[in-house]
Amino acid sequence: MTEPAPPVPGRQTVSIIGGGIAGLALAARLDPARFDVTVNEQRAGLPAVGTSLAVWPAAQRALGRLGILDAVREASPVIEGMSVRAASGKPWTAAQASGLIGVSRIDLIRLLDAAVPVSVGRASGRIDVVRPGPAGLVVGADGVHSSVRRSCWGARSGARPTPYLAVRGVVPGRLWRGHTGEYWGRGQLFGVGPAADGTNWYAAFRSGAGPGSLDVAAVLAETRARYAGYPPAILEVLAAAAPQTSLVQRVWTTPPLGSYVRRRVTLVGDAAHAMTPNLGRGACEALVDAVTLAEFLNTRSVDEALAAYNRARHLRTQALRAASSAVMRLALAERGQPARDALLGIIGRRCRSGPGSA
């Protein structure tokens, strides 16, 4: 990474902390004729494991505004035929999710990075403290554990752990065929779907492991044991899973924030609204945040743009954050699991027999 270029007098400086999905999308869409932009990223190179992210239509439109939608589509399988099932494999409902694609996080970061103009400065290393000031704009795109949020919104805005671990990976082969969707058991779920070069899978369950770094091989062994009674298709996926192509992490969320703007500091993506992964919306909303903010900044004064961005994105993303947590509680129900299964069974039967049936 190169050092940031000195600012050009008269132009606004924008310092983006975090060069992940939100940060790169913002840098790619800001008008280089108007802004001196620097992206500060702590990670060297691309992520090591490229699990799939579901990309919903609104996020695809944002990728279109960035000029990379065709390239993302080319690299990403369409996700279709999704259903939510009981742990036994019995389908409850077919999820209505037309137009969904599954992009590898590595491909997405690579394509976003290539869309960033060469005029954007790149600074490597971690930024720990940011102070709101009158000069320049600071954008926290630094994820769920955002230093920008903690520096400017206070210690109480720090990320909160859920009791759940997420384990996920990509295995070779089209093991997803006929099985795409989620399997909800008692206090645990398993998901499977297509990846560009195989099958994407994920599991979530309650675990007290951590708080230090987690041993991927040990968690994978625990995952195989936990899902031993699941349908053969799931067992086949888990048998093919390897530590070097799997990721293990605790699921964290951010507490509600009253606003994403403090003076000349603003937040985008997970730094603003990290949500549980149950709706598959975090990265999608990060893309929409970034493109919305950039387009307001390109066409209005900075203060007007920040106010418009907050109006456009705050309530919607906070509602999605709350909705994701609600779906997590339903999908990972423990004591309420028999009642949930009975209810979903009834809903599934009604959906299959069509409107008006008893």
Ligand X SMILES: Cc1cc2nc3c(=O)[nH]c(=O)nc-3n(C[C@H](O)[C@H](O)[C@H](O)COP(=O)(O)OP(=O)(O)OC[C@H]3O[C@@H](n4cnc5c(N)ncnc54)[C@H](O)[C@@H]3O)c2cc1C
Residues in touch with ligand X (CB under 6 A): 17-23, 40-43, 53-54, 126-127, 141-143, 147, 166, 168, 202, 249, 251, 269-271, 277, 280-284, 286
For the CB of residue 335, give the shortest distance to ligand X in the complex, in Å. 24
What is the distance between the alpha carbons of residues 287 and 219, in angstroms, rounded to a whole number?
Answer: 31
DSSP annotation of 87: T
DSSP annotation of 170: E
For the CB of residue 43, give the shortest distance to ligand X in the complex, in Å. 4
Residue pair 53/76 in contact (Cβ under 8 Å)? The answer is no
What is the distance between the alpha carbons of residues 205 and 184, in angstroms, rounded to a whole number?
Answer: 10
Q: Considering beta carbons, is residue 66 or 284 the nearer one to ligand X?
A: 284
For the CB of residue 92, give the shortest distance to ligand X in the complex, in Å. 20
CA 209 to centroid of chain Cα atoms: 22
For the CB of residue 351, give the shortest distance to ligand X in the complex, in Å. 24
Q: Considering beta carbons, is residue 82 or 306 the nearer one to ligand X?
A: 82
At residue 200, the 3 state secondary structure works out as: strand
Q: Considering beta carbons, is residue 21 or 238 the nearer one to ligand X?
A: 21
Question: DSSP per residue over 295-339, as a string?
Answer: HHHHHS-HHHHHHHHHHHHHHHHHHHHHHHHHHHHHHT-STTHHH
At residue 148, the 3 state secondary structure works out as: helix
Can you name the residues that pair with 50 across neighbouring β-strands? Answer: none
Q: Considering beta carbons, is residue 82 or 284 the nearer one to ligand X?
A: 284
Three-point CA angle 125, 129, 44, nearest 5°:
15
What is the distance between the alpha carbons of residues 151 and 157, in angstroms, rounded to a whole number?
Answer: 9
Q: Considering beta carbons, is residue 268 or 306 the nearer one to ligand X?
A: 268
For the CB of residue 358, give the shortest distance to ligand X in the complex, in Å. 37
Q: Considering beta carbons, is residue 109 or 344 the nearer one to ligand X?
A: 109
What is the distance between the alpha carbons of residues 227 and 238, in angstroms, rounded to a whole number?
Answer: 9
What is the distance between the alpha carbons of residues 135 and 13, in angstroms, rounded to a whole number?
Answer: 8
What is the distance between the alpha carbons of residues 147 and 125, in angstroms, rounded to a whole number?
Answer: 13
Q: Considering beta carbons, is residue 105 or 341 the nearer one to ligand X?
A: 105
Q: Considering beta carbons, is residue 169 or 185 the nearer one to ligand X?
A: 169
Residue pair 248/275 in contact (Cβ under 8 Å)? The answer is no
Q: Considering beta carbons, is residue 77 or 282 the nearer one to ligand X?
A: 282
Q: Considering beta carbons, is residue 13 or 300 the nearer one to ligand X?
A: 13
Q: If we measure between CA atoms, which residue out of 308, 267, 309, 312 comes closest to residue 157?
A: 267
H helix runs in the chain, sequence order: 21-29, 57-65, 69-75, 105-115, 147-153, 216-226, 232-240, 270-273, 282-299, 302-331, 337-353
For the CB of residue 122, give the shortest distance to ligand X in the complex, in Å. 11
For the CB of residue 354, give the shortest distance to ligand X in the complex, in Å. 30
Q: If we measure between CA atoms, which residue out of 144, 187, 190, 185 comes closest to residue 163?
A: 187
For the CB of residue 280, give the shortest distance to ligand X in the complex, in Å. 3
For the CB of residue 352, give the shortest distance to ligand X in the complex, in Å. 27
For the CB of residue 250, give the shortest distance to ligand X in the complex, in Å. 9
